[in-house]
Structure 1
Amino acid sequence: MAGGGAVSERAMACGLAVAFLAALPATSRERGLGAIMLLLGAAQVALHLLFSTAPHLPPLAVTGAHEHSGLVPGIGMLLTHGWAASLTALWLSRGEAMLWATLRRLAARLVLLLTSPGPDCPARVRRRVESPALAVLRSVLLRHVISGRAPPTTSLPTG
């Protein structure tokens, strides 16, 4: 394991099952940062209890061993696990928000594609019915608009 200890393959398989079972209820809709952080914290506690009670194999290397006193972790381990869970929850919540936003955009485009007329359908021409009052209002509102999108019609005198 990354902490320097070693557990059996059976304990690792059980840990993988615990992680998947913890994540399964959260897959139906988008979750926020708080829900993800709570789920990650609970999964870390469950995995810590599982790996603490599992039969240990002899460590592969003595340097950097992950030492704790059975089921009760030290303050360093609590801080490290809390920090890791917080960063992972932040990372997952932002990634999940981007994923759900992308899926919503794709669904909107798919609906638009399925509901728009195809190229062999005749286009519907809709005529605007403008009232004379609307034409007067538009001319009053646009009277002092200066449009700079066209080239000048006359040349400026050079001095």
Structure 2
Amino acid sequence: MSSSLPFRLIRTAVFAGVCLGLGVVAHVFGGGSVTGSALVAGFAAAFCLALPVAGRERGAYVIMPLLGTAQAVLHVLFSLAHAGSAAEAVAHVAHASSSGLAPGLGMLVAHGWATALTALWLARGEAALWGLLRRLVTRLLAVLLPVLDTPFSAPRTVEPPVLRSAVLRHVVSLRGPPRVVGTH
């Protein structure tokens, strides 16, 4: 089942909003800050990532890598916006890579868990939405098909009820072999 453009844009906007919310919360909890321009650019980036795959129902196997990619793009975007200049961005990347394996691994595990749980949540919502749409279409067709089946130009005639004779209703049936009349 494929979706129309307005429905596709709404689904893409919801996905981009969830991606942006998850990215902002993770970035702020990690000690960073997010500017207004980074929010707009992040929403646009997540929207552009999700739009090509928003035409049909998608499962967790499509949503999870897409959400992970969007989180990586948002992390880089927020880090660059926070740094302010290219030299500060390079210093941020150098500091993150030289600060040891444990903080980097912790961040990756936290992002991985958040991405996986959010992807599963989105996949369940996706399945519920498409299931609801399928049921609505089925019910709509069940209502419309009988209406569309009758020709509009032919007048509907009401058939008279079958009449039964009141006299015949009370007659006792004497079917069967004839009675034996006395034998002499």
In the superposition, the TM-score normalised over structure 2's length comes to 0.54
User: Which residue pairs with 1:44 in the alignment?
Assistant: 71
> Does the Cα contact within 8 Å between 2:67 and 2:119 map onto a contact in 1?
yes
Residue equivalent to 2:40? 13
Within 5 A, what are the aligned runs for 1:64-103? 69-70=92-93, 72=97, 74-103=104-133
* Cα distance in 2 between the residues matched to 1:122 and 1:83: 67
Query: Percent same amino acid at aligned positions?
Result: 50
Instruction: State the 1:94 CA deviation.
Output: 0.8
1:35 maps to 2:62: yes
Q: Secondary structure at the match of 1:15?
A: helix
For structure 1, list consecutive stretches of 5 or more residues without a partner in the other structure: 58-68, 124-159
3-state SS of the aligned residue for 1:117?
helix
C-alpha displacement at 1:122, in angstroms? 6.3
Please state which structure has a larger fraction of its residues in helix: 2
Deviation, structure 1 residue 75: 0.7
Q: CA deviation at 1:56?
A: 4.3
CA root-mean-square deviation: 2.8
Is the alpha carbon distance of 1:116 and 1:14 closer, same or farther for their aligned partners in structure 2, counting shifts above 3 Å? same
Which structure's CA Rg is the greater one?
2
8 A contact 1:6–1:56 mirrored in 2:
no
Structure 2 residue runs of 5 or longer lacking an equivalent are: 1-23, 85-91, 98-102, 149-154, 159-184
* Separation of aligned partners in 2, 1:14 and 1:97: 29
2-structure distance, mates of 1:55, 1:46: 14
**Does the C-alpha gap of structure 1 residues 112 and 13 become closer, same or farther in structure 2, counting only changes over 3 Å?**
same
Query: Normalization by structure 1: what TM-score?
Result: 0.62
What does residue 139 of structure 2 align with?
A: 109
Q: Which has the higher contact order (CA 8 A, sep 6+)?
A: 1
Displaced runs of 4 or more, over 3 A = 120-123
Which residue of structure 1 aligns with residue 49 of structure 2? Answer: 22
Letter aligned with residue 58 of structure 2: R
